[in-house]
Structure 1
Amino acid sequence: MSKIRYKYHSKYPSITDLKIKAKSRIPKFAFDYLEGGCNEELNLIRNESDFDDILLKPQYLHVAGDIDMSVDLFGRRYSAPFGISPIGLQGLMWPNAPEILAKAAAKHDIPYTLSTVSTSSIERIAEVSDGKAWFQLYHPTEDRLRDDLLRRLKEVECPVLVVLVDVPSFGLRYREIKSGLSMPPKMNMANVVQAMMRPLWGIKTLQHGIPSFATLKPYMEKGLDLSQLGQFMNKTFTGKVNIEKVKAIRDIWKGPLVLKGITTEEDMDASIALGVDGVIVSNHGGRQIDAGESSIQSLIHLAKKPAYNDKIKIMLDGGIRSGVDLGRAHAVGSAFNFMGRPFMYGVGALGDEGAEHTINLFKAQLYQLMQQLTLEKIDQFPGRLLQR
């Protein structure tokens, strides 16, 4: 049997280990922003726990050849069937996190997705990722701003545009309200004390600068205080993404177009009719609606329809915490997967080393699972789903 080829820090062999370490290095207000869901956080819990019901079956006497985890997606071949999700304010949780993650993703040939409201700019991430990074668009209220963002993405030759559709309103997140990171944000004395208790985070923040919405800087007035920043964000991104808005983007954007936040047949039908290339089934990490179903359950329902799989790429974001979960997701019909919090745990725990560690951790776990199930390729996982 061949050895696992992916090396990672043996002190942190699981995402749980990284999470514990990251929590000890990130100020509480920033960790709560990363970790929290909306309302009672029930859907946040379901996102992870519902994976436990997906069981796989080995075929030990089956003869398998070499394992190939690579996947073709939108005309490119990626080394593994997963990428790094967009997360807002990444540099607040760990200084310079977007660049750390984008560089590692490019090196390991997996996609990194930059959020409109992250803390590095479109141009900087395109530079450090060799033009490989995807971009997630929070649809602006004004078409003028949308068009300028799309212009900038074209200029850096962004390979894939992801349009976020599941934020008709900002989720009611109790942790953020308590910490002062809701809109408008405020830095209270408790936050200052928490930051002082994490000296390395403070030193790194001083080195890289106070985090800001770097992509949006050209559209902001200079010298906005926190209250004015909140007003700017509310004014700039208040508005629901609808069919007409996606149509307009489809007319402008000629590259691969993906809608993120799709969970229902009605929205899937609309996505196909609009001619988008893929959807990411997601409930925004349990941060928008507490009364919905988990992302994996939504994917299971949608992937059961052969007509969908024939017309559009169905991908998943939400709740994946191991290579075993990656295998489970593919077994029930996911074509590709994204994880956000695990990679932030990685950089929070191990800094610059954390991105590559987390990538290799997922690769090693998935590789071992494929060995155990005697699989050669990712598209063979559905054949190992235990039907009950």
Structure 2
Amino acid sequence: MAEHFNSEFPSVEHLIRQAKKRMPGFAFDYLTAGCFGEVNLDRNQKDIRDVQLKPWYLRDYEGSNLKTELFGKTYDAPFGMAPVGLQGLMWPKACEYLAQAATDHNIPFCLSTVSTASIETVSAITGGDFWFQLYHPAEDKLRDKLLERAWESGCKTLVILADTPTFAYRPKEIRNGLSIPPRMTMRNILQMCTRPTWSLGQLMAGAPEFKTMKPYIPAGLNMKHLGLFMNKTFSGRLTESKIAPIRDQWKGNLVIKGVVNPEDAELAIKHGLDGMIVSNHGGRQLDRGESTIRPLARLAPEFGDRIKIMMDSGIRSGADVASTIASGAAFTFLGRTPMFGVCALGKYGGHHTFEMLKKQIQQVMEQVGCESVDRLPEHLVG
């Protein structure tokens, strides 16, 4: 595999600055914003960065290995691509680019129900080796069709979403017309005119669409009615009565995303789930909730031997990945950072970002004298 690391952009902060120069303001806001005053968005990052690691300098050390086993498959690093909705709005063909990059780097790629590439397209890119995140439909018939398509496309790990029971109050999206129903403002049009690379890419790729959902969307809907249709189609809140039939139908790995308390963790185990992702939807849903690293640190010791515990939300760098693993996660997922990579650098931005993250994790492990990912918790400062 060719290396695509660009030394001009060695950190996520460099990628963010470059992405902002290339994206229309409304697209950049959609990628970066949280809800309400973005308190939880900031708390997620701050609390991860407060985690401290202790080095062992005088022990024998033979080098570090990033390979990590998850659900019977060995990945080249302890992180994967988190599900992100409307990826193609933020950068043309972003979903396809990131699926290819994840495949080339042998890390998991998780496709959102509301992304801009279809299940079948991502299956073709990944050779069927991908995860699928299900936004729970209001109708069982649609749920079953989506699960059948995912399974037939080779997906063996299904992620069911618990942390979006309602549409969030996101002031930036409301102002930019990206709420439900959506609207296109003159300000958005002017922003597109000042970002010719983005606009030309959209022209070539075609307008962003909910490609997985396209077969079920009535033809000819305008933006307003499409938004209302999507709002009606997904019921949001995940309950025990909704989990049970999914567990009965899905024969692969079943993961729940959004668990932050022991009561929900017990229910996940009760229903035979294989994993849970501690998540608060990237700080985009509950502004006054906890950061993800704090419940992770409580849940991992109590439930880590009964269910695979992972985490997303707030993880931006390789150092953050190391801190999260040290705090008890078996695996991690990042959404915004790889998106910044593609928005900043285009087609090979995902390759650059995954290479950057690997280099950063490698440096941390070498510095503290940690030989394998599963031993990072031994380096946690209590």
In the superposition, the TM-score normalised over structure 1's length comes to 0.97
Deviation of 1:300 after TM superposition, in Å, equals 1.0
Partner of 2:370: 375
2:322 paired with 1:327 = yes
2:70 paired with 1:73 = yes
Contact 1:6 1:364 (8 Å CA) reproduced: no
Equivalent in 289, 292, 304 of residue 292 of structure 1: 289
Alignment of 1:169-180 (within 5 A): 169-180=166-177
Q: Deviations over 1:230-282 (max 9, x none)?
A: 11011101342100101110000010000001101110010010110000000
2 CA distance for matches of 1:265 and 1:238? 24
Paired letter, 1:311? R
2 CA distance for matches of 1:332 and 1:375? 14
Paired letter, 1:180? G
Contact 1:162 1:259 (8 Å CA) reproduced: yes
Secondary structure (helix, strand or coil) at the match of 2:309 reads strand
Contact 1:168 1:241 (8 Å CA) reproduced: yes
Equivalenced residue count is: 381
Contact 1:6 1:361 (8 Å CA) reproduced: no
Deviation of 1:52 after TM superposition, in Å, equals 2.2
Contact 1:161 1:257 (8 Å CA) reproduced: yes
Contact 1:111 1:133 (8 Å CA) reproduced: yes
Partner of 1:340: 335
2:356 paired with 1:361 = yes
2:238 paired with 1:260 = no
2 CA distance for matches of 1:380 and 1:247? 35
Deviation of 1:298 after TM superposition, in Å, equals 1.5
Deviation of 1:373 after TM superposition, in Å, equals 0.8
Q: Deviations over 1:30-81 (max 9, x none)?
A: 1111111111110000010001221001111111113211111111111100
Secondary structure (helix, strand or coil) at the match of 2:26 reads helix
Gaps of 5+ in 2: none
Contact 2:255 2:274 (8 Å CA) reproduced: yes
Equivalent in 279, 303, 314 of residue 282 of structure 1: 279
2:114 paired with 1:117 = yes
Equivalent in 240, 244, 249 of residue 243 of structure 1: 240
Alignment of 1:1-388 (within 5 A): 8-305=5-302, 308-387=303-382
2 CA distance for matches of 1:66 and 1:89? 40
Contact 1:41 1:286 (8 Å CA) reproduced: yes
Paired letter, 1:370? M
Deviation of 1:7 after TM superposition, in Å, equals 6.3
Change (3 A) 1:228 1:7: closer
1 CA distance for matches of 2:198 and 2:313? 27
Paired letter, 2:381? L
Contact 2:101 2:348 (8 Å CA) reproduced: no
Deviation of 1:212 after TM superposition, in Å, equals 0.5
2 CA distance for matches of 1:284 and 1:79? 25
Q: Give the share of equivalent positions with the same residue, in percent.
A: 50
2 CA distance for matches of 1:239 and 1:281? 18
Contact 1:346 1:354 (8 Å CA) reproduced: yes
Contact 1:282 1:316 (8 Å CA) reproduced: yes
Contact 2:275 2:308 (8 Å CA) reproduced: yes
Contact 2:319 2:360 (8 Å CA) reproduced: yes
Which deviates the most, 369-378 or 296-305?
296-305
Deviation of 1:165 after TM superposition, in Å, equals 0.9
Contact 2:260 2:295 (8 Å CA) reproduced: yes
Contact 2:92 2:205 (8 Å CA) reproduced: yes
Paired letter, 2:378? G
Q: Cα RMSD between the aligned structures?
A: 1.1
Gaps of 5+ in 1: none
Contact 1:84 1:339 (8 Å CA) reproduced: yes
Contact 2:4 2:351 (8 Å CA) reproduced: no
Paired letter, 1:216? M
1 CA distance for matches of 2:48 and 2:141? 42
2 CA distance for matches of 1:104 and 1:324? 21
2 CA distance for matches of 1:21 and 1:55? 30
Secondary structure (helix, strand or coil) at the match of 1:365 reads helix
2 CA distance for matches of 1:82 and 1:6? 19
Deviation of 1:188 after TM superposition, in Å, equals 1.0
Paired letter, 1:372? Q
Contact 2:4 2:348 (8 Å CA) reproduced: no
Contact 1:6 1:363 (8 Å CA) reproduced: no
